Structure 1
Amino acid sequence: MKALKHIFLIVLTIGWLQSCIVSEKPNIDFFQNSKYDFKGAQFASINVPMVLAKSYIKKALREEGESEETIDLVKKASKIKVLTVTNGSNEMLNDYAQFLNDNHYEEWATIKHDGEHINIRVKQDGDAIKNMLITVGSSKNEMVFVDVKGNFTANDISKMINSVSDK
């Protein structure tokens, strides 16, 4: 029985560690479409294990001087996926935006700063927001996509957007 517990703990630990591995395969729905021609775009993706990462993320945000609204938002997150794209195109970004529109994501904010465009879209289920997608695009055809799942309110996200906009 004791050996069975040890094996279970080892398998569980390996499962957590595997989710930390960076992959060259996209981990966000639109980019997993094998029929779409990405025209030489290169991907790097990571699934962030929240059990391990929450305390590190909150500490880093505090050290960077981020607002408590942003830190509170991290507390409510249950899963984060990050995808970076190199050699992306505006056409691909436009197709991604259309994909989000077709899947009922609402645009909440677009922020432009130093040549970068930050776009925040959410998917609501009544008053609850279960999914938030953040897109960061630069003029150098490099993009970052962050898919955040959790249990947020409109007020949570509005506070976070306002705190970022004020900076």
Structure 2
Amino acid sequence: MKTLKNIFLAILTIGMLQSCIVSEKPNIDFFQNSQYDFKEARFASINVPMVLAKSYIKKALREEGEREETINLVKKASKIKVLTVTNGSSEMLNDYAQFLNNNHYEEWATIKHDGDNINIRVKQDGEIIKNMLITVGSNKNDIVFVDVKGNFTPDDISKMINSVSAK
């Protein structure tokens, strides 16, 4: 019985770690399902397994002196996907923004921080925010997209934006 339990735990661990593998294929809808010509853009995508990542992310945020509002937001996340684009373009960002508008995402904030533009868009289902997309674009055409799924309130997002803006 103990051997069976150990085998089950090993298989479960391997299954969770597999979703952490970095891929060169995009994992964000606009880039996956698009006939768009990305030209010289290169992609790296990561699906973050929340079971493993939550405690690590919360610890790192505390060490960096983040406010409790941001740490509480991590607790409500159920899935995080990260996509980095090298050699992106402003045209690609504009087309992505149009895609989000067409799919009922609302722009909540645009923040300029250390030369980067941070854009936060959300998709609501009543009073609950089910999806938050964060775009970080630099002047060097390197872009990071973060797709966060969970059950957030508008107050959660506002507190997080205010804590980032205060820095």
TM range (shorter): over 0.9
Q: Distance in 2 between matches of 1:2 and 1:75?
A: 33
Aligned to 1:152: 152
Counterpart AA for 1:59: K
- Aligned residue pairs total 167
TM-score computed with the length of structure 2 as normaliser: 0.95
Whether 1:166 aligns to 2:166 is yes
Structure 1 residue 4, shift from structure 2 partner: 5.6
Q: Distance in 1 between matches of 2:105 and 2:87?
A: 25
Q: Distance in 2 between matches of 1:160 and 1:36?
A: 33
Q: Map 1:93-104 onto structure 2 (within 5 A).
A: 93-104=93-104
Q: Distance in 1 between matches of 2:104 and 2:5?
A: 44
Q: Distance in 2 between matches of 1:73 and 1:40?
A: 35
Aligned to 2:69: 69
Aligned to 1:143: 143
Structure 1 residue 9, shift from structure 2 partner: 3.2
Q: Distance in 1 between matches of 2:35 and 2:4?
A: 44
Structure 1 residue 33, shift from structure 2 partner: 2.5
Q: Distance in 2 between matches of 1:3 and 1:36?
A: 51
Structure 1 residue 13, shift from structure 2 partner: 1.9
Whether 1:89 aligns to 2:86 is no
Aligned to 1:50: 50
Counterpart AA for 1:108: W
Q: Distance in 2 between matches of 1:126 and 1:29?
A: 22
Q: What is the SS of the residue equivalent to 1:69?
A: helix
What is the RMSD computed on CA atoms of the aligned residues?
A: 1.4
Please list every run of 5 or more consecutive structure 2 residues that lacks an aligned counterpart in the other structure.
none
Q: Distance in 2 between matches of 1:109 and 1:83?
A: 20
Fraction of identical pairs, as percent: 87
Q: What is the SS of the residue equivalent to 1:140?
A: coil
Q: Distance in 2 between matches of 1:34 and 1:128?
A: 28
Please list every run of 5 or more consecutive structure 1 residues that lacks an aligned counterpart in the other structure.
none
Structure 1 residue 95, shift from structure 2 partner: 0.5
Structure 1 residue 10, shift from structure 2 partner: 3.3
Structure 1 residue 86, shift from structure 2 partner: 0.2
Q: Distance in 1 between matches of 2:70 and 2:77?
A: 11
Aligned to 1:79: 79
Counterpart AA for 1:136: V
Aligned to 2:121: 121
TM-score computed with the length of structure 1 as normaliser: 0.95
